[in-house]
Amino acid sequence: MSMLSAESLALIDKEIAKYPADQRQSAVMSALRIAQVEKGWLSTETMDFVAHYLGMQPIAVYEVATFYNMYNIKPVGKHKLCVCTNLPCKLMGADEIADRLKKKLGIEFGETTEDKQFTLVEGECMGACGDAPLLLVNNHRMESFLNEEKIDALLDELKNK
C-alpha cells in the first residue's frame, strides 16, 4: 500500500523524468509539494515515504522540508493564508491587511483557528511587489491589490468552500 495516491505518484514520476536518471533526488522539492497538496502537511511518515521513493536518507528530505518555508511541517488549517509584510508590501498597507485578517479570524501569525479552517502566516517577498499588498492561499493562489473589501470577500468565499 502506498503512502500517496496513484495520481500523486504519477505527478512525482513526471517530475523525476525532468532530471538525469541517477538524480532522482532532484525531484524532492516537487515530490514534497505534491505530497503536501494531497496530505495537507508533511508528517514524519510522508517524509519517510518520499525519502524511500527517491532513494534518499530521511534526514536529507527533512533538511529540504525545513529549509524551504512553503512546506508545512506541522498540520495547518484548511486554508493557509500567507501575507507578505516585506517592505514594498508594507509601504502599501500590508500591516493593515494583516491586522484585518488577525481580527476577523481571531488569531495571530503562526496560529490556526479553532475550527481548523484557517492558518495565518507571515510571508516573505513573493516577487510580485507591483501588486502589493498581497497574500497566498495554500501556496498556489495569489490574491493581489488587497484591501478590506477584498479580504472580507476572500474569507467569505473560503469559508464556504
Partner 1 sequence: MVIQPGPVIFNTLHLPEPWKLSTYVSAGGYSALRKILAENIPAETIIAEVKTSALRGRGGAGFPTGLKWSFMPRQFPGDKYIVCNSDEGEPGTFKDRDIMRYNPHALIEGMIIAGYTLGAKAGYNYIHGEIWDIYEGMERAVEEARAAGYLGDNILGSDFSFDLYNHHGYGAYICGEETALLESIEGKKGQPRFKPPFPASFGLYGKPTTINNTETLASIPYIMREGGQKFLELGRPNNGGTKVFSVSGHVEKPGNYEIPMGTPFSELLEMAGGIRGGRQLKAVIPGGSSAPVLPGEIMMDCTMDFDSIAKAGSMLGSGAVIVMDETVCMVRALERLSYFYYEESCGQCTPCREGTGWMYRVVHRIEHGQGRPEDLDLLDRVAGNIAGRTICALGDAAAMPVQGMLKHYRHEFEHHIEHRKCLVQSGAM
Partner 2 sequence: MALNIEIDGQQIEVEPGTTVMDAAHKLGIYIPHFCYHKKLSIAANCRMCLVQVEKAPKPLPACATPVSDGMKVMTRSDYAIQAQKGVMEFLLINHPLDCPICDQGGECQLQDLAVGYGGSRSNYAEPKRVVTEKNLGPLIATDMTRCIHCTRCVRFGQEIAGIMEMGQAFRGEHAEIMPFIDKTIDSELSGNIIDLCPVGALTSKPFRYAARAWELSRRKGVSPHDSLGSNLQIQVKNGRVMRVLPLENEDINECWLSDRDRFSYEGLNSEDRLTKPMIRKDGAWVEADWQEALSYVASRLREIQVRHGADQIGALAAPTQTTEELYLLQKLMRGLGCGNIDHRLRQSDFRLDDKAHGAFWLGMPVAALNKLDRFLIVGSTLRKDHPLLALRLRQAVRHGAGMNLINPVVEDYLCKVANRSIVSPDGMVNALAGLVRALAEAKGERIPTMASGAEVTPEIKAIAESMIGGERKGIFLGNLAQHHPRYAEMQTLAQEAAMLAGATLGVLGDAGNALGAVVAGAIPGRGALGSRGMAGMNAAQMIASPRKAYVLLGAEAEYDCFDPVAALAALKQAEFVVAMSSYKHAAVDYADVLLPIAPFTETSGTFINAEGRVQSFHGAVKPMGETRPAWKVLRVLGNLLNLPGFDQDSSEAVRDEALGQDAQARVQQFLNTRIDPVSVSLASTSKIERIGEVPIYQTDAIVRRAASLQRTADAAPPMAKASGMLLEKLGIQGGGMAIIRQGEVSVVIRIDRDDCLPANCVRLPGAHAVTVSLGPLFGELTVERA
Cβ distance to partner 1 smaller for residue 54 or 146: 54
Q: Are 46 and 38 in contact (CB under 8 A)?
A: no
Q: Are 35 and 52 in contact (CB under 8 A)?
A: no
With CB cut-offs between 5 and 8 Å by kind, which of partner 2, partner 1, none does residue 151 bind? none
Residue ranges that bind partner 1, judged by CB under 8 A: 18-20, 23-30, 32-33, 54, 56, 60, 63-64, 67-71, 85-88, 90-93, 95, 123-132, 136, 139-142, 144
Amino acid letter, 137: V
With CB cut-offs between 5 and 8 Å by kind, which of partner 2, partner 1, none does residue 10 bind? none
- State the minimum distance, in angstroms, from the CB of residue 129 to partner 1: 4
Cβ distance to partner 2 smaller for residue 1 or 6: 1
Residue ranges that bind partner 2, judged by CB under 8 A: 44, 47-48, 57-63, 66-67
- State the minimum distance, in angstroms, from the CB of residue 117 to partner 1: 21
Whose CA is closest to 130, among 100, 92, 95, 81? 92
Cell of 103: 481580527
With CB cut-offs between 5 and 8 Å by kind, which of partner 2, partner 1, none does residue 71 bind? partner 1
With CB cut-offs between 5 and 8 Å by kind, which of partner 2, partner 1, none does residue 28 bind? partner 1
Q: Are 52 and 70 in contact (CB under 8 A)?
A: no
- Three-class DSSP category at 63: helix
Cβ distance to partner 1 smaller for residue 25 or 119: 25
Cβ distance to partner 1 smaller for residue 26 or 117: 26
Tally of CB atoms within 10 A around 43: 16
Q: Are 64 and 31 in contact (CB under 8 A)?
A: no
Question: What's CA 137's distance to the chain center, in Å?
Answer: 8
